[in-house]
Structure 1
């Protein structure tokens, strides 16, 4: 901003007849200063509006990004929960499978008891022929497995 300092003003002796001319010259100079200030204020106002617009745009972007981040964080939490639940269910499934495998093997071993071997006899019941162990008198204290119809064992 251009301004006139007190040192720049040179006071000269002027005659009273020159007062109106000098006053008019001062008024013209003051109007020029006012016009320069008006232009500078316009530039400042333009810059202020531009900055406010930039702030609004950045605020909108920030809100959008924050919303997106919140959604993704919630999705991440849900995904971690799903993974934990799936891993837990999988672990239980593996444990159950191991237990089932152990039970099947124990049952298989009890059916093929070393004392009995794998000998079976054919017995006739009211349901047809069945396959079962030769003796129901086990010495190891285990129960005799149920009789399975022969048709069920040979259809595989």
Structure 2
């Protein structure tokens, strides 16, 4: 009977050790889960912050592109008007030279 008691005690000790090992593994897994949840929360927060920043940068870029397009339009219109002034000046100069020449011939 003492052999059976010793075997039963041995089984009991082994069973307790197995349960303790399982509890230890569960606790380690729980610790890792908590760490990963914290990391997940940090990453989600970073994504939120970066998404907000991206939206602000996109909005700023859109405004600046619209302003640049307005500058381009104004520059093009101004250059076209300036070219007309140059052409008119050239025409006026030619007319004046012709008139001056005509007037000199009549003297």
Higher helix share goes to which structure?
2
- After TM superposition, is the score higher than 0.5? yes
Aligned to 1:70: 62
1:32 maps to which of 24, 27, 47: 24
Shift of residue 77 of structure 1? 1.8
1:102-152 deviation digits (Å, cap 9, x = unpaired): 333444444x3433x2xxxxxxxxxxxxxxxxxxxxxxxxxxxxxxxxxxx
Specify which structure has the bigger relative contact order, considering alpha-carbon pairs within 8 angstroms and separated by 6 or more residues: 1
Q: Aligned pairs, how many?
A: 102
5+ long unaligned stretches in structure 1: 1-13, 118-156
TM-align CA RMSD: 2.3
2:88 maps to which of 81, 96, 111: 96
Task: Return the alpha-carbon distance in structure 2 between the equivalents of residues 113 and 22 of structure 1.
Answer: 130
Higher strand share goes to which structure?
1
Larger radius of gyration: 1
TM-score by length of 2: 0.74
1:18-74 deviation digits (Å, cap 9, x = unpaired): 444443333322222111111100111111112222222222222222222222222
Task: Return the alpha-carbon distance in structure 2 between the equivalents of residues 28 and 91 of structure 1.
Answer: 92
TM-score by length of 1: 0.54
Task: Return the alpha-carbon distance in structure 1 between the equivalents of residues 104 and 14 of structure 2.
Answer: 133
Task: Return the alpha-carbon distance in structure 2 between the equivalents of residues 32 and 46 of structure 1.
Answer: 21
